Structure 1
Amino acid sequence: MKYDYKAVEAKWQKVWEDEKTFHVEIDHKKPKFYALVEFPYPSGAGLHVGHPRSYTALDVVSRKRRQNGYNVLYPMGWDAFGLPTENFAMKNHIHPAIVTKKNVDHFREQLKALGFSFDWDREINTTDPEYYKWTQWIFLQLYKHGLAYKKEMNVNWCTGCKCVLANEEVVNGVCERCGSEVVHKVKSQWMLKITAYADKLIDGLDGLDYIERVATQQKNWIGRSHGAEVNFGTTAGDTLTVYTTRCDTLFGATYMVVSPEHAMVKEWLEKGLLKNADAVTAYQAEAARKSDFERSELNKEKTGVKLEGVMGINPVNDKQIPIFISDYVLSTYGTGAIMAVPAHDTRDWEFAKKFGLPIIEVVKGNTESNLDEAAFTDVATGTLVNSGFLDGLSVTDAKKKMIEWLEANGKGCDKVNYKLRDWVFSRQRYWGEPIPMVKCEKCGWQPLPESSLPLTLPDITDFEPGPDGESPLARHTDWVKTTCPCCGGPATRETDTMPQWAGSSWYFLRYMDPHCKDALASKEALEYWSPVDWYNGGMEHTTLHLLYSRFWHKFLYDIGVVPTAEPYQKRTAHGMILGLNPHSFVNLPADEQEKLLKEYGSQKAAEKALEEKYGEMARHPIVKMSKSLGNVINPDEVVDQYGADTMRLYEMFMGDFEQAAPWQTSAIAGCNRFLDRVWALSDKLVEGEGYRPAIETLMHQTIKKVGADIEGLKMNTAIAQLMTLVNALYDNGGATKAELETVVQLLNPFAPHMTEELWEKLGHSHNEQLAYYPWPQYEEAKCVESTVEIAVQVNGKVKARLKVAADIDAAAAIAAAKADPAVAAALEGKQVVKEIYVKGRLVNLAVK
């Protein structure tokens, strides 16, 4: 009977929903397993085939763990605040809440159609006031503990979204959301002091099961380094403090560079000390138009302006050295000032060469130095030279002695520094969590009482930001005007809202107890489910969401709200699913290719024309899926044509889970044929009990491999092993009931609808659904082949292939080889001079 996937999938999805098959409660009799995937932003476009890759992988793991006897929590919800919805609302004059509900309903329908084993009773939505009440509560705790503060600062300003962005939201100088240019502005912002947790965020990674590239990105983003703060004097009588990891090279510091925004530059301008003030202010204005990424790009041309009128003073030799402003020095890193040692730093060397500055070698390496080339730079080992009291010391010893000297002379100290900056938390928009703070002229900033939460958004219809980028909430005075919770006098509400990252920084905790009224989750639920056992997400979130959520969780742990210091015990990451680039020459329809060839004369010239039109991306045939490129594949269409199980199977079979993989519609049919072959086995049952001898070893090997591969996220090789087993069953005339049952059990996490139907067809009652049926067991001894095939070579040429016992000894293997008729014929009349047996592989006989 042909497999009717539409009927079967609809049947089992209804069973799971009606019977709440995957609903879970606290059960101390079972070991718990909390599997988590990053909850999606419900855009109007709906899911594309990239989204289910993560969800399917953790669903496979969750289904297997249930059958292993675990109490599995596998939840889903919606990260639903954000600018895209607000922008859509502005463009189409629809309230963001209406847009969000419609998008969420669509996403939920799509996810249910794919048969994921989510506990839908735990569904959460960050825009629900009963949810963001606790987001606001966490903010208030941060404020009360000195970790939330207001500050005038230079911020990243998106010219498209008209709001402030965190450094992490600026990618290649543009907004990661809308792609618009990002410039710098000075604005008053709420900040979260994530830097107070820098050490805990690095040290906490020890003992966690994070894949190496995730842990490395976390450490690199925090950027902890050990060095020294050094105080340089100036001819203006001020002190410029620099941070350096190479205080051993101080004798080689021949100039200084400060950021264009440095407070000392402003002070010197105001005092009229700078003779070239016009050039300085012009350069400051130019730097303000660049993002931090553009300014710190290593390969860009070095620019700067010398400060005429003020010189720096090197503390180790009292020599006067010039001071420059340059945009490659950032006010937000270190002290905003650096000492430049051009003999041992590539960037400093390039700057010194451009501006004709001295280059003094102070570390002698193992090779000859050449001051006209950069080949000698970045010397981390060697011996100090031209360095006074440091001469002859190693770099390590010189660092130690220099720090001792600086501290003894009051000119510096040992210092640990971080690249991590405090989190810019304000957003000038409507569709976000209101910040529960009010400003009173008498009392200053005051937190709302916790009893008044949630502070809900007013129902407005105009969502456009103000001319200076202020939040649309600022225009709604009825909402803005309030009373001070401290003195009862007039006050105004904060009109900025929280970033989208706020709701996603603790959502995994709410899943543990989503309907709790008295806390973000009950103590019992937190103690039972914490921590998340396995979290999978995209690599693009390892320096954003992952860092922020670990910070919030560590803070909640420190104040006694949660029972574990870390939120996630295991973190894996999936590769993106890529699509065909419609602007690449090789992907164009044949008639368009022919037209371009006629127009430009060659494929190379045509490709260059495409690159000029569409940018560097045109070079790549396979790119990230995006709506703008029109290369997004809708999973609904795949499910309609092939079924959800085929879709799930293909997403797991398409390649290494951690690597990016191109979507190939033509390959889906192969997965569909495999499922049809498994279904057809139910009509080819053969007589016999248990596993037949001819198939027994492969059965046990497959049980072992599929189980191990699922736990290792090697889904593609697990499926390949199942395909090998099914082929072997067909080669042996079909399957016994026991053999097919095992195949169905092993395939169930990948293709749950079809396998539940086959399980029922094999005679199992409704109370024996595969969802909780025990996972099949293997015997290690039966995973070893009882016989192996060996090749028999005579003078290196294969003469026969023999089946022998797997544990056969060399003498018996050689005797069996010589007894084979073909081998005997090859040996006739010849003398055997050498006999070799390679266990389990071959017999080689040398004759003359």
Structure 2
Amino acid sequence: MAMNERYEPQAIEGKWQARWDEAGIFRAGKRPGAPKKYVLEMLPYPSGKMHMGHVRNYLIGDVYARYFLMRGYDVLHPMGWDAFGLPAENAAIKEGVHPAVRTAENIVSFKKEMKSLGYSYDWEREVNTSAPEYYRWNQWFFIQMLERGLVYRRFSKVNWCTGCHTVIANEQVKDGVCERCSSPVVDKEMPEWAFRITRFSQDLLSSLDTLKEWPDRITSMQRNWIGRSDGAEADFRVQGHDASLRVFTTRVDTIYGCTYVVLAPDHKLVAQVTTPERRAEVAAFVKRMAAQSKTERMGEGTEKEGIFTGAHAINPFTGQQVPIWIANFVLSDYGTGAVMSVPAHDERDFSFARKYALPVKVVIQPATGDKLPAGEALEAASTEYGVLVDSGEYTGKTSEVARQEMAKKLEQEGRGKATVTYRQKDWGFSRQRYWGTPIPIVYCEKCDPERQGIPVPVEQLPVRLPEIDVQEVLTGKGEPPLAKVPSWVNTTCPKCGGPARREAETMDTFVDSCWYFARYLSPHYDAAPFDPKEAQRFLPVDIYVGGPEHAVMHLLYFRFWTRVMKLLGLSPVDEPVTRLITQGIVNGPDGRKMSKRWGNVVAPASIVQKYGADTARAYVMFAGPPERDFDWSDDQVEGVFRFLKRVWTLASTHHAAVAGATHAGPFEGKALEIRRAAHKGLKRVSEAIERLSFNTAIAGTMECVNALYATGTPETPAEKAAMAEAVRLLAAMLTPFAPHIADEIAEAYGSKELTVAQAWPDFDPALVVDDVIPYAVQVNGKLRAEIQVPANAVEADVRAAAEADERVQAAITGKTVRKFVFVPKRLVNFVVG
């Protein structure tokens, strides 16, 4: 076939997308005997509008999927929709459009844009988390976990978003406001459903060490979030009461320096221990603290404040009385809600003690160096381990030894024990919204007077969302929306058949994304959430691409859920993902993150219409390493388009003369030069893709094209055959990044297969070795010259060439060469004296 002289992407891209679909080239499972590769990007919320930040996320996975297909793998590369959630419901409240209608429209729009960019998805595995066929299995998991004690109902203080009118997770509170709507978040006590994720805290923590191909910043954030603390609990008996305060401390070795204890404002013993004369002031303080959120109380800039209860407690080691305070920096749901304060050896305790004129007592001295002054002269807390002083029988012992012995004594005397606490809390997941998975629970006054909840029988799943009058039900105010639908909320008890009410709250949408990667394995499977045989074949996910902002939400939750799936006998793996890639942000032309809020969004459709999908793809991959942010540049987009035009022109200019050329004889001179350029380019591109350096891979392709242009017009049969080979290799190199132009060129040059169905070519090692290589020449370690020598030169040849250089001669003339250092293919060094 003849090639057009002009590169017109709009004329070829739709054709190739149709051919890929017709051939079913991206369907997984077509190579049952081949090794597998599961490549996945975090599924999007279908807002209906893609921007180039989305494009980059999906392209990283797409490049890998196409590359591994060419490497002979059975590649699973699916896509679906995280379709439940607050944005659709908030839009419904504002505009009166049912969330299901808006979501369906957005999916059509989003999918159209994805297809226009030529992503290599197996669309037969598409999932929609708002479909009953999907959320049925959310409900099934809930019931299985309820039976195993991994789901429970609790009454607790929750984060209440005043804008979304729902509970949100700790991870979704940023600086005291909702990360979604920026409304203030307040503490609110109410019943909720929770997953017992803390049962897996230690396993989730320990297994981070096995995730060798996850970014360090993600594993570090998860370690900090889980927050293991090794310490001890100790009972401080309240003077004049039968009650004791159990405190948790990681530094029991400092207990002889405890000069006061502090309770959380909502600790259950505050009212009991407060003395009558202090009651009014304490009550006022407690009320003020109750009006503040945890974030307000615990923020870095928040002033530490407290109030004395009038009561005292007995230090279990010294027998001395210490005052009992309450303060804003102690939380009732961390540790025991009570802490012992040792101001000499804790910075927070020190500043609080100085503020309220409380005693400071030094009980740990540095093992070496200067000694600390007495407490009243101490200028700052000393928090390092050391040697105990003024600590009774433990004086002279190291902190490490004393910790163990003190914890043991507490346990022997029944006044405490060594213990471990975690910062991580159980995951409260019930939400007061309509557009989510209904929780499969009913309440019956006769069978369930304590309102613990009765699960819906599995055979009655799914519990479907009811049809609603949007304006009547989705008001954003009052009780949960589902409670306003009598025909749905009023039901019968599965135990007695009498009247009952359904749970009106829905599940957090993070439940949907906890296990979607497994549903892709068999999205139409009806006997279980997914086919365990497919799990054996494809899990874990080999490469997962998504934003680092999900570190302690989705990326932690789905690690927990994967363990549950293994517990249920569904999955063979503990960890869902082998290699995690966290992509950087695409900023708008103004340098700010692309957002409708800033009006700086670049829509992919505008780039595709003007330059073609391949330009959009190649530009985003060329703009920088995947993990780094970059600023959008229209000029650089134009530059990538010019590069693809150069590729096209190279192929079309030589097409008539070389496309069918062959040559059986030797390749010498220009023919050899052409082959060297092509194979060196192939080597660089292959290695760059393997190490996730896609920008370097495209740069290697650009250098290859420049080198091929520099060889001029091929004239001899050998030169023509070499150029034909070079263009075919160029098409292969471009396939992961610019697949439409790659297929068009490959077909013009005689290919009968889609490029992605062909094997990734191997470079010829003999053709990538340079004829000459550079050597740095040093004299006494100082660079004096750089020389070019034959690649196969031995040490004697390199030394002779170095000594012949005028600059080197000037540096060594008249001196004795005491040593000659030879580093093959890098440098030589004359040591002279």
Task: Return the letter of the residue paired with 2:572.
Answer: P
Runs of at least 5 residues in structure 2 that lack an aligned partner in the other structure:
714-721
Matched, 1:495 2:501: no
Task: Return the letter of the residue paired with 1:778.
Answer: F
- For residues 217-296 of structure 1, the aligned pairs below 5 Å read 217-235=221-239, 236-268=241-273, 273-296=275-298
- CA distance, structure 2, for counterparts of residue 516 and residue 122 of structure 1: 11
Task: Return the letter of the residue paired with 1:190.
Answer: W
Matched, 1:641 2:610: yes
Does the CA-based 8 Å contact 1:428-1:465 persist in structure 2? no
Change (3 A) 1:29 1:280: same
Task: Return the letter of the residue paired with 2:773.
Answer: V
SS state at 2:322 partner: strand
- TM-score scaled by structure 1? 0.89
Matched, 1:749 2:736: yes
Counterpart of 1:592?
none
SS state at 1:335 partner: coil
Q: How far off its partner does 1:705 sit?
A: 3.1
Task: Return the letter of the residue paired with 1:459.
Answer: E
Which digits, 9 at most, give the CA deviation of each residue in 1:266-300, with x for residues without a partner?
4457xxx4433332232223223333233222342
Counterpart of 1:702?
681
- CA distance, structure 2, for counterparts of residue 713 and residue 369 of structure 1: 52
744, 752, 769: which is aligned to 2:754? 769
Task: Return the letter of the residue paired with 2:703.
Answer: T
Q: How far off its partner does 1:220 sit?
A: 1.3
Change (3 A) 1:449 1:740: same
- CA distance, structure 2, for counterparts of residue 733 and residue 645 of structure 1: 26
- CA distance, structure 1, for counterparts of residue 27 and residue 576 of structure 2: 22
Matched, 1:457 2:458: no
- CA distance, structure 2, for counterparts of residue 507 and residue 793 of structure 1: 59
Change (3 A) 1:478 1:817: closer
Does the CA-based 8 Å contact 2:607-2:616 persist in structure 1? yes
Q: How far off its partner does 1:456 sit?
A: 0.6
- CA distance, structure 2, for counterparts of residue 837 and residue 471 of structure 1: 79
- For residues 140-539 of structure 1, the aligned pairs below 5 Å read 140-208=143-211, 209-235=213-239, 236-268=241-273, 273-308=275-310, 310-365=311-366, 366-369=369-372, 371=375, 377-444=381-448, 445-462=453-470, 469-539=478-548
Change (3 A) 1:504 1:847: closer
Change (3 A) 1:487 1:368: same
- CA distance, structure 1, for counterparts of residue 645 and residue 476 of structure 2: 61
Q: How far off its partner does 1:771 sit?
A: 1.1
Q: How far off its partner does 1:121 sit?
A: 0.8
Does the CA-based 8 Å contact 2:31-2:73 persist in structure 1? no
Matched, 1:551 2:560: yes
- CA distance, structure 2, for counterparts of residue 756 and residue 281 of structure 1: 75
Task: Return the letter of the residue paired with 2:526.
Answer: K
- CA distance, structure 1, for counterparts of residue 780 and residue 575 of structure 2: 63
Counterpart of 1:807?
792
- CA distance, structure 2, for counterparts of residue 406 and residue 465 of structure 1: 56
Change (3 A) 1:795 1:409: closer
- CA distance, structure 2, for counterparts of residue 847 and residue 267 of structure 1: 86
Matched, 1:91 2:94: yes
- CA distance, structure 2, for counterparts of residue 204 and residue 349 of structure 1: 36
Change (3 A) 1:26 1:335: farther
- CA distance, structure 2, for counterparts of residue 731 and residue 118 of structure 1: 38
Moved more, 488-497 or 203-212: 203-212
Q: How far off its partner does 1:466 sit?
A: 7.2
Counterpart of 2:716?
none
Task: Return the letter of the residue paired with 1:729.
Answer: L
- TM-score scaled by structure 2? 0.90
- CA distance, structure 2, for counterparts of residue 287 and residue 800 of structure 1: 72
Which digits, 9 at most, give the CA deviation of each residue in 1:233-277, with x for residues without a partner?
1123211111111111111111111111111124457xxx44333
- CA distance, structure 1, for counterparts of residue 462 and residue 536 of structure 2: 25
Counterpart of 1:591?
none
Change (3 A) 1:823 1:201: closer
Q: How far off its partner does 1:223 sit?
A: 0.9
Counterpart of 2:719?
none
Does the CA-based 8 Å contact 1:136-1:453 persist in structure 2? yes
Change (3 A) 1:844 1:164: closer
Q: How far off its partner does 1:560 sit?
A: 1.2
Does the CA-based 8 Å contact 2:93-2:476 persist in structure 1? no
Counterpart of 1:679?
648
Does the CA-based 8 Å contact 2:273-2:309 persist in structure 1? no
What is the aligned residue count? 797
Does the CA-based 8 Å contact 2:50-2:113 persist in structure 1? yes
Matched, 1:719 2:728: no
Moved more, 384-393 or 92-101: 384-393
Q: How far off its partner does 1:498 sit?
A: 0.6
Which digits, 9 at most, give the CA deviation of each residue in 1:778-802, with x for residues without a partner?
3456543232245889999999986
Does the CA-based 8 Å contact 1:185-1:288 persist in structure 2? no
Q: How far off its partner does 1:163 sit?
A: 0.6
Q: How far off its partner does 1:372 sit?
A: 6.5
Change (3 A) 1:92 1:810: same
Moved more, 103-112 or 7-16: 7-16
Does the CA-based 8 Å contact 1:173-1:182 persist in structure 2? yes
Q: How far off its partner does 1:465 sit?
A: 6.2
Runs of at least 5 residues in structure 1 that lack an aligned partner in the other structure:
582-621
Change (3 A) 1:801 1:344: closer
Q: How far off its partner does 1:153 sit?
A: 0.8
Counterpart of 2:39?
35
Q: How far off its partner does 1:186 sit?
A: 0.7
Counterpart of 1:600?
none
Which digits, 9 at most, give the CA deviation of each residue in 1:120-165, with x for residues without a partner?
1111011000110011111111111111111111111000001111
Change (3 A) 1:248 1:682: same
- CA distance, structure 2, for counterparts of residue 500 and residue 793 of structure 1: 63
Does the CA-based 8 Å contact 2:238-2:273 persist in structure 1? no
Q: How far off its partner does 1:167 sit?
A: 0.7
Which digits, 9 at most, give the CA deviation of each residue in 1:799-846, with x for residues without a partner?
9986431132343345456779x899x99xx87976978655678999
47, 55, 65: which is aligned to 1:62? 65
Moved more, 781-790 or 794-803: 794-803
Matched, 1:788 2:773: yes
15, 19, 23: which is aligned to 1:15? 19
- CA distance, structure 2, for counterparts of residue 772 and residue 322 of structure 1: 76
Matched, 1:653 2:622: yes
SS state at 1:231 partner: strand
